A and B are shown apart, each in its own frame.
Chain A
Amino acid sequence: MHEKDQPIEFNWSSGFQPMGGTFDVRLRHQTEARSFFLRVSIKLDGLVRVITVSRETEEVFYRIRNQTPELLTVHQPHVRYELSRAATSESGAPLISSVAAYRGEMASIDEIPPMSDIPFAWDSQGQRHVSLQLAGDSATYRVVFDRNVPQAVRIPSRVRHATLRNGFLVNINAATGKPTI
């Protein structure tokens, strides 16, 4: 073993259905802000679905690039809904109102130093957007990933939306601070 080799233990990836296709899964380090990516390819071999897990040797499908001089924080919503069912008294009046609370987990946050980029993969299937925020800027950029043609960037007040085609880069423009594709 190399002198600098260190054992690294990562969390489990998110769950994926063995339905077919090729995608990357992300393994986050248990305590540090490190990630590792594995590529999962599911193909039919005759009648059998073969799930091949490999180390991605080329670029992952997404990269997020920070072209600003500020630290960029990427938050991938990894929400967990905790629902409490509404209870009613004998008269039918609600005792406890229905509560839908969610919490974001620290594990879903990445920080991209100025003028650099990081590989990106989804922590959770079904959540196909990220929120980007620059240090010192109160605006949050909500970026939606989609296989469709990118839509125009909408800027409703301080929240800005962009829809990206699969595999596109997200560039944060240094001059305007806006995400471009």
Chain B
Amino acid sequence: MTKAARHISDLGTRLYEVVVKIENCPGDYSRTKQVLLLPRYVIANRTSMQLRYRQLPKTSYGADDPGFGLQDGQNIPFHWPDVNGNRKIQVQSLFFVRERDREVHT
């Protein structure tokens, strides 16, 4: 059985979204149920650069929010910092550009 669950942090406005998977253990432990809690979202950086990500700010006051850093190759669970905010994600990167980087154009 799988189920999605939400938990609003008592300490603030964070929203934790997890999925719950309940299944019987294999083999000799088949009468034992295993409960798996998994993050609903995982964000993975495959850019070869340092990535930043954040929840889309509700107002321009949040425009300076630096978000969270994510190193190249790293995967981490994503949860919504603001339960009342936009359910959208923004990304940004700071990197060093070379002349051969064709993606950058003028």
B: interface residue count bin: 35 or more
B47 interface neighbour in A4, A6, A7, A55, Cβ under 8 Å: A55
B41 interface neighbour in A16, A18, A27, A32, Cβ under 8 Å: A18
Interface of B, secondary structure class, is strand
A54 touching B46, Cβ below 8 Å? yes
* Whole-angstrom CA separation of A38 from B56 in the bound complex: 17
B46 interface neighbour in A13, A36, A48, A53, Cβ under 8 Å: A53
Q: Is A17 an interface residue, CB under 8 A from the partner?
A: yes
Q: Is A21 an interface residue, CB under 8 A from the partner?
A: no
* Whole-angstrom CA separation of A46 from B19 in the bound complex: 10
Smallest CB separation, A74 vs chain B (Å): 12
**B40-77 interface bits toward A, Cβ cutoff 8 Å, 1 = contact, 0 = none:** 11111111110101101000000000010000000100
Q: Is B31 an interface residue, CB under 8 A from the partner?
A: no
B51 touching A53, Cβ below 8 Å? yes
Q: Is B98 an interface residue, CB under 8 A from the partner?
A: yes
B46 touching A10, Cβ below 8 Å? no
B92 touching A55, Cβ below 8 Å? no
Smallest CB separation, B37 vs chain A (Å): 10
A8 touching B54, Cβ below 8 Å? no
A119 touching B105, Cβ below 8 Å? yes
B89 touching A47, Cβ below 8 Å? no
Can you name 7 extra interface pairs (CB under 8 A) apart from A48-B39, A51-B44, A53-B51? A5-B98, A8-B97, A10-B93, A15-B90, A16-B89, A47-B19, A52-B44
